[in-house]
Amino acid sequence: MGLIDTHCHLYLEEFDADREERILAARDSGVEMILVPNVDLSTIDRMHELCDNHPDFAVPMMGLHPTSVDTDYVSQLSVMESLLQTRAYCAIGEIGIDLYWDKTRLSEQKAAFETQLRWSIDLDLPVVIHTRDAFSEVFDVINKVGPERLKGVFHSFSGTVSDLKEIEQFGDFKLGIGGVVTYKNSKLPEVIAQTDIRHIVLETDSPYLPPVPFRGKRNEPLYIWETAAKVAMIYEMELEKIVKITRQNSLEVFFK
Ligand SMILES: [Zn+2]
């Protein structure tokens, strides 16, 4: 029984030189499982290969990332929709709306997000949501589809207390907390202190957003322990208890 890294892009080329080693290091440290979000058509084969090589450790998701939503999004989605019929995935992800990089595709991003939320209902799978500068747009689409029909994770949660309270109203959503919570000027510790630990799942988003003291380096699943330690401080709980509760939260949202 160990930690679950609920968001990890270990198939990316950043790990081509030492992927197996880094998996061993994570497993030896007590990382029990990693959940692996897709990005777009170009990442599917690599993601499947990773998960096929480590069926007891790495579990794939399927979805189109908002920053990959372009004019061809309908054809990308149709490939993904057929893959969802052919093999098991633990979630629809990662999906959502990102207005930080590009605002010009907002209507396409909204449409792709809505379509994929509807898949999650049809397939009875959770969703993993990426939101950047777009909480109100994301909430609008969720409210349109029906929050009571959805469950999932707000990956790399970066919102305010009022965003958090709105998410709590949805019922079955967790907040994905990663390295950002360890950053010196992050408001996240005060924000998540306003919610119960049963709403928290841990993630790395490897190779991105490494926790202190690894900032500026490549992130990897092993470093989830730094985030877990910080979350233990925020909730004034033993690390062991954080492992147990966040593991249980993860199993509840992804495998129930
Ligand atoms: Zn991601």
pLDDT value, residue 171: 86
Instruction: Look at residue 1 and tell me whether its pLDDT is greater than 90.
Output: no
Cα(255) to ligand 1 centroid in Å equals 19
Cα(248) to ligand 1 centroid in Å equals 21
CA distances from 133 to 21, 96, 97, 153 (A): 36, 11, 8, 17
Q: Which residue has the tokens 């999004």?
A: 73
Cα(8) to ligand 1 centroid in Å equals 7
Q: Which residue has the higher pLDDT, 114 or 256?
A: 114
pLDDT value, residue 101: 83
Q: Over pLDDT 90: what percentage of the chain? A: 98
Cα(6) to ligand 1 centroid in Å equals 10
Cα(143) to ligand 1 centroid in Å equals 23
Dump pLDDT digits (tens) for 183-231: 999 999 999 999 999 999 999 999 999 999 999 999 999 999 999 999 9
* Cβ partners under 8 Å of residue 173, min gap 6: 150, 151, 152, 153, 154, 167, 199
Model confidence band, residue 102 (pLDDT cutoffs 50, 70, 90): confident
Distance CA 156, CA 211 (A): 12
Dump pLDDT digits (tens) for 6-43: 999 999 999 999 999 999 999 999 999 999 999 999 99
Dump pLDDT digits (tens) for 120-147: 999 999 999 999 999 999 999 999 999 9
Cα(94) to ligand 1 centroid in Å equals 6
What is the rounded end-to-end Cα distance, in angstroms, of the chain?
17
Distance CA 109, CA 196 (A): 31
Cα(204) to ligand 1 centroid in Å equals 9
Mean pLDDT over each residue of the chain, to the nearest integer: 97
Nearest to 67 by CA among 119, 130, 115, 5: 130
Model confidence band, residue 163 (pLDDT cutoffs 50, 70, 90): very high
Backbone angles phi, psi at 224, to 5 degrees: -60, -20
* Cβ partners under 8 Å of residue 143, min gap 6: none
